[in-house]
Amino acid sequence: MLSCTLPAMAVDAIPGDEQYRPLVHFTPEKNWMNDPNGMVYAGGKYHLFFQHNPAGNTWGNMSWGHATSTDLLHWEEQPLAIPQTFNDAGQSIEDIFSGSIVVDEDNTAGFGPAGSSPLVAIYTSAYTPQHPGRPGIQAQSLAYSLDEGQTWVKHDGNPVLDRNSGNFRDPKVFWYDGPAGSYWVMAAVEATDHKVVLYKSSDLTSWQHLSDFGPANSVGGIWECPDLFELPVDGDSGDTKWVMVVNLNPGAVNGGSGGQYFVGEFDGVTFTSESTDGPVAPPEGTTFAGFDDGDYEGWTVSNEPGNWAGGPWGTAPATGSLDGQNPVGGFVGAGLVNSFLDRDWAIGQLESPEFTIDDEYINFLVGGGKHPHVPGGQLENNPPAGTTVFGFELPAGETLADAGWEITGDFATEPGRNPSTNGGDYYLGAKRLNTWEGGPNGDDNVGTLTSPEFTIDGDYVSFLIGGGRRDDGTLQVELVVDGQVVRTQGGSNDGALDWAAWDVAQFDGQQARIRIRDEATGGWGHLTFDHVVVGGEPAQVRSDETSVNLMVDGQVVRTATGSNSENLDWTSWNVDEFRGQEATIRVVDNNRAGWGHVLLDQVMFSDAPATTALEGYDWLDWGRDYYAAVSYFGTPSGSKIMQGWMNNWDYANDIPTSPWRSSMSLPREVTLVSTPEGPRLRQQVVSQIDGQLDTDAAESLMDVGVDGETTLGLSGDVAKVEVVLRPGDADKAGITVLSNGTIGTRIGYDTALRRIFVDRTNSGDVGFHSSFPSVEDAPLALDEDGTVTLELYLDRASVELFTKDGQLTITDQVFPAAGADTISAWSEGGAATIESITVTPLVPTMWKVPEPAVELSANSVRAGGVITVSGTGFDPSEEVTIELRSDRIKAKSATADEDGAFSRTVPVTGNTAAGEYTLAVVRADGTEVTMQLTVIARGRG
């Protein structure tokens, strides 16, 4: 991978001025946030509680943060609501996990005085190993507030519902009033069992089991954050259905975290789904490999030697889950390929016999880790050709200082700690630099390690790097030329070292130093570093893939991977272009870390593609960044409003934001509409967003021909974008947003596949995690007139796409280049037309405080007197010039004080005739602020 030099983020940036800070989505001012919790409308305000780490910018110390709003868009962050619980020794014994809040209008729990309506929070107590009575248990607890959510008291009788389970969590509570009676209903999950468990209570403190729902549809990951609510179909109050929401991680349709839903009936006891899908049958075809006969059917097996269980493949296919593995599902017959033997550690390859491609499609079931094949990557860990400048294989007893390195800070206290023989994977030789090991304080070590000078006599400097990532310049390897930092590279919060390379051709022949800067503390506050090579070619990044690859002429021409799920699903390759050629299928497990295994079964040759089961399910969103979405309790007029966490557990802890991490989606009103498949959800951003549209600044174009890259002259990074696209003869067509002309996010339509997509593979910063660069797509037929209508909301670091009248949404984070706001169009394989496009700026609702209005005041005076001119809303210390537009008066200057105000007495000469005059204040930038002033004739009363 080639690294680049990026500007360091200012540590003390004002909220709203940070590069990726959203301006219409909620973010906490600082620190970590995940699932929305306890969303409730009470006391004329919307309350948004959320999973929060009050002490850091990654997941941990789980407590409930709190924010309030009158319109769901202008949020005011409140003090921490419900903190984690500590024992007398200062150890956390209870984390506060997700849950919900209700308005107890009848005071059924008795937490308030007679006639009051307390807010009651129902949340998961995640008891830590230090808890004296329930270590490792998750149970449901209560807290209540008598002051509209500002302070909370934990119930003395907690927990109120305990199943002695380690994965029982995320209670969503509502009031049921129907044929079965009137009572509180709780929907929670047994996460690893893929079940929603339903309970009822009359007082919120005593709970009776009603029924269970699930497993159903996607079970590729743990089930979390359920919801259950009733909605009219097509607005008909006499025709209603119930919606069961189940979020899951991983196992979503486009990978990682996501939310599915079911439509059906709830009778007060049992939810019955009417939208659960059965198994997907593959198309007709020839089975090439089913792995059901107890052997690998002639496939060549390459197991890594030296592992205790003979992994990763062993000598025969697996028959299901292996030792230590979660349940494996979705395979066909008696056996499957499963590289979990020796857990995720062992690596190896499995290759089919050679075959001739005679059919249009190769279909197969795949599962396991989501570690795609890296084009141009290597499966080994070989350095590039060149001169090894620093290898760190120093003789025993020799330190870095002995080798001419300059060492400061904690690393100088015990210089013998580096080079180290501990920490990291994929280093070369026996020794490497490790700033965790390099001082007495582990991740809290701070200091620098600076190499001796060396000559840059090649086009590239390559090296192995691992460890932590920071985006503020406090943890990085630096190339220093003439005392200036000209290149930087950080880790990726990964213990494995991987190759990075700097293009240094412009510095050929100059002297340089390598400096390792570690000013970071806390988790992943260290770097590992090894093997610096100067040469004519960059190092090849290692491909830590868990993949299934089609090999033709020794090249990977098609590839697939799992989705971090133990559930196998169908994948199809269109291989028509290779008909008549010889090929093999190579399965590669080259990953030792989490989800470092691959599953394969039922390889078939066919004239039709297999249909993925996931695409047949109903999803809240088809993007990568809409998770843990649940609804508000008690919203006005009975509307159902949902909001989700705009992130994905695949990379949530690594997104390049600071001092906060994560945002919430825009709130969405959901309704049920009739479709050929039955009632399904329709989502729209809440109508309050219309009040933030700066329609006076909107720009529109009509009937724009698009043939290749097409400029539109439009821009916007906090905006609503409405597009009617006619793909026409193009293979693909669409627009690019948040672009700087070179990189950007592409939103488009694929006419052959009939799919809408968001492509963020070249959207900006995509290198912080291997799972981030991605294309999210969904099936979508064109309208009858051959067009597709898109509604987009851009907010600096996100794209929320609504189409199909709100029945299909795609939500993705993106991290564009600084200042990237260009909107352009493009087509491939033919011409298209943008029938209309409108870009309307959105007035910020978060962090950007409106500048105070500039105002003038002055008294009407007699000619020959004086006037006092006052102004407010100017810049502090700004110099202005006051003019009365008359030939008889001289301009006077004034300077605004620290509050942006000034007051200046100005004489009006006796020769100034009575009448209306323009009083003008000329600002420092040449702009004017004016008002009309009446001058009364001299001597007149």
Query: Which are the catalytic amino acids?
Result: 35
On the CB side of 220, CA atoms within 13 Å amount to 32
How far is residue 902's CA from residue 854's CA, in Å, rounded to a whole number? 11
How far is residue 281's CA from residue 288's CA, in Å, rounded to a whole number? 17
How far is residue 178's CA from residue 242's CA, in Å, rounded to a whole number? 13
H or E segment at 65? Answer: strand 63-69
How far is residue 575's CA from residue 263's CA, in Å, rounded to a whole number? 38
Residues 241-264, buried b or exposed e (16+ Cβ, 10 A)?
Answer: bbbbbbbbbbbbbbbbbbbbbbbb
Cis omega before residue 419 (within 30°)?
A: yes
| Spatial contact of 661 and 31, defined as CB atoms under 8 Å apart | yes
Q: Which residues pair with 933 in a beta bridge?
A: 917
How far is residue 215's CA from residue 385's CA, in Å, rounded to a whole number? 53
Q: What angle do CA 428, 431, 433 make, to 5 degrees?
A: 100
Number of CB atoms found within 10 A of residue 941's CB? 5
Q: Which of 513, 498, 537, 530 is nearest to 390 (CA)?
A: 530
The total number of residues shown for the chain amounts to: 941
Q: What φ, ψ does residue 417 adopt, rounded to 5°?
A: -75, -20
**Residue found by looking up tokens 């009509």 in the block:** 702
Q: Which of 79, 87, 25 is nearest to 52 (CA)?
A: 79
3-state SS string for 271-301: EEECCCCCCCCCCCCEEEECCCCCCCCCCEE
How far is residue 791's CA from residue 45's CA, in Å, rounded to a whole number? 28
Query: Strands, DSSP E only, in 563-664?
Result: 565-574, 582-589, 598-606, 627-631, 641-646, 660-661, 663-664
Secondary structure class of 450 (helix, strand, coil): strand
Q: Which two tokens stand for residue 200?
A: 């009822």
| Spatial contact of 127 and 137, defined as CB atoms under 8 Å apart | yes
| Sequence-ordered list of residues with C-beta below 8 angstroms from that of 133, at least 6 positions apart, any chain | 127
Q: Which two tokens stand for residue 586?
A: 């190579």
| Spatial contact of 13 and 20, defined as CB atoms under 8 Å apart | no
| Sequence-ordered list of residues with C-beta below 8 angstroms from that of 434, at least 6 positions apart, any chain | 418, 420, 422, 423, 424, 467, 526, 527, 528, 529
Q: Which two tokens stand for residue 315?
A: 């000598």
